[in-house]
Amino acid sequence: MFIDKSKIKIISGAGGNGVVAWRKEKYIPKGGPAGGDGGIGGSVYIEADESLSTLLDFKYKSRFLAQNGEPGRSKNQHGKNGDDVYIKVPAGTIVRDINSNKIIGDLVLHGDKILVASGGRGGRGNARFATSIRRAPQFCEPGEPGIERDIELELKLIADIGLLGLPNAGKSTLISVISAAKPKIADYPFTTLTPNLGVVKKPSGDGFVVADIPGLIAGASLGAGLGLEFLRHVERTRLLVHLLDMTEEDPLKNYNIINQELKNYGGKLIETPQVIALNKIDAADPDKISSTEEHFKNEGKDVFIISAATGQGVQDLVNYLIKKVDEIPPPTLEIDVEEDHVAYDHDDSGFMVYKEKKTYVVTGGRIERLVSVTDLRNIEAIWRLQNILTSMGVLKALKEAGIKDGDLVRIANYEFEYYANEIREVHDEG
């Protein structure tokens, strides 16, 4: 099975919370704050791997989570950082953010990689807040959240040679003859439902990749048949081999159908060099073969007369392709990759205030984490929390929502009573 588009969800690791802790060594009578910082959350990367050829793996796994950073520890110990996640994709994969529809990466070569979600920063422990005036801070910071986003992966095959032709032109047979590929072959249209790749060995020992593109028909660029799904796979080829079935009534008409679809598809595809291969000559009219060959030569085209079924003329075509692969540089596709700010955006300081029966509920990632790491039994820590809520506009939003003295406010699993622009008398809901 060939999978050329996949959607995945990625979530980077959240930073670990800082902690409130104190030195308690026997010979240090005054002690002091010793809460360490939380670890950094793991990041998520997407990396090109030449050993992969399809996106099939993402059919079975489409959710990737990096490890969270660990909380800080006592004795000023830093929490362990979360492990990064590397998502391996075939070379030639384009990475798109689904929400913005922006292309954020074009992974062409083996080892190319992009950061798609950075890990959250770890929160600071109380030791980081000690000053000459505030020697015993009773508070710490929560870690930053991870980044969650939906990504689409789209594979554009990186093949040196692309085989074009209407259904039953003989592309599958040719690729099976010149390489070790074993595509499905039958005498009816659309035998090939997915692109086949074959590696043709060169005398030097290395090889080049040939892509057998599924049959195109008239209207393929508008979605007819299979062509629309796979035309993009020939965009990165150096050369196109256009196979014509010489047993058909009008091979020239078929040739024009394919090229019109390439033109309609747009881009530089129509400008890719083409060589003509007149196929199935073992069963075709010699006069038709001769006249068709002469037509293309008059147009300045390189023409080969072959029979993929019997092997006649195939080696001459292969020798030609070996020469051209060395001569023609790989095409450069103009993929508009946009700067990706989302990969670094950990801001979840937004919040919402709503009334639930007689209680005013405040929700928001940063606010809820602040409450969860605040020692609500310590007046200094509560004052700091109130200052933060004031600076974030939470208390103002509560007033605008109609809160009155004595009303209850719920944040995370905690309830407060509101009095004169302050919150007091904490009740842990557990």
Q: Is 86 exposed, middle or buried (0-12, 13-18, 19+ CB in 10 A)?
A: middle
Yes or no: say if 197 and 214 are a contact pair by the CB < 8 Å rule.
Answer: no
User: What does the DSSP 8-state code read for residue 426?
Assistant: E
Cα–Cα nearest to 142, from 415, 364, 299, 332: 364
Task: Identify the pLDDT of residue 189.
Answer: 46
Residue entry with tokens 């208390």: 395
Cα–Cα nearest to 168, from 225, 236, 231: 225
pLDDT at 238 exceeding the cut of 90? no
pLDDT at 226 exceeding the cut of 60? no
Amino acid at 300: G
Through-space distance between the first and last CA atoms of the chain, rounded to whole angstroms: 51
pLDDT in tens, 121-166: 999 999 999 988 888 888 889 999 999 999 999 987 677 898 888 8
Whole-number Å distance between alpha carbons of 417 and 390: 16
At residue 182 the predicted structure's pLDDT band, cuts being 50, 70 and 90, is: low
CB atoms within 10 A of CB 29: 6
Quick one: average pLDDT of 357-373?
90
User: What does the DSSP 8-state code read for residue 45?
Assistant: E
Whole-number Å distance between alpha carbons of 96 and 345: 17
Task: Identify the pLDDT of residue 181.
Answer: 54
Quick one: average pLDDT of 3-11?
88
Mean pLDDT of the chain: 85
pLDDT in tens, 75-90: 999 999 999 999 999 9
CB atoms within 10 A of CB 371: 21
Yes or no: say if 154 and 337 are a contact pair by the CB < 8 Å rule.
Answer: no
Task: Identify the pLDDT of residue 194.
Answer: 60
Highest mean pLDDT among 84-93, 160-169, 263-272: 84-93
User: Rg (Cα) of the chain, in Å, rounded?
Assistant: 32
What is the biggest distance separating any 2 CA atoms in the chain, rounded to whole angstroms? 107
Percent of the chain with pLDDT over 70: 87
SS3 265: helix
Quick one: average pLDDT of 392-398?
93
Whole-number Å distance between alpha carbons of 122 and 78: 9
At residue 393 the predicted structure's pLDDT band, cuts being 50, 70 and 90, is: very high
Residue entry with tokens 């292309």: 103
Ordered structural domains, the chain, with CATH: 5-155 (2.70.210.12), 161-327 (3.40.50.300), 352-428 (3.30.300.350)
pLDDT in tens, 248-261: 999 999 899 888 87
Please give the residue that has the higher pLDDT: either 107 or 169: 107
Alpha helices in 189-339 (DSSP H): 227-230, 251-265, 286-298, 314-327
The two beta strands, 414-419 and 408-411, are antiparallel
Please give the residue that has the higher pLDDT: either 384 or 359: 359
pLDDT in tens, 280-310: 999 999 999 999 999 999 999 999 999 998 9
Structure-block tokens of residue 290:
């001769």
Yes or no: say if 183 and 218 are a contact pair by the CB < 8 Å rule.
Answer: no
At residue 221 the predicted structure's pLDDT band, cuts being 50, 70 and 90, is: very low
What is the four-CA torsion angle of 265, 271, 272, 273, rounded to 10 degrees? Answer: 140
At residue 200 the predicted structure's pLDDT band, cuts being 50, 70 and 90, is: confident
Task: Identify the pLDDT of residue 190.
Answer: 44
pLDDT at 14 exceeding the cut of 90? yes
**Backbone CA torsion sign across 237, 332, 97, 48:** positive
User: What does the DSSP 8-state code read for residue 312?
Assistant: B
At residue 15 the predicted structure's pLDDT band, cuts being 50, 70 and 90, is: very high
Q: What is the pTM of this model?
A: 0.72
Lowest mean pLDDT among 123-127, 288-292, 348-352, 423-427: 423-427
Query: Which CB contacts under 8 angstroms, 24+ apart, belong to 403-412?
Result: 403/360, 407/358, 407/359, 407/360, 408/358, 408/359, 408/360, 409/359, 409/360, 409/361, 409/362, 410/356, 410/359, 410/360, 410/361, 410/362, 411/361, 411/362, 411/367, 411/368, 411/371, 412/368, 412/371, 412/372
Yes or no: say if 171 and 159 are a contact pair by the CB < 8 Å rule.
Answer: no
At residue 205 the predicted structure's pLDDT band, cuts being 50, 70 and 90, is: confident
At residue 412 the predicted structure's pLDDT band, cuts being 50, 70 and 90, is: confident
Whole-number Å distance between alpha carbons of 271 and 262: 9
Task: Identify the pLDDT of residue 111.
Answer: 94
Quick one: average pLDDT of 267-292?
90
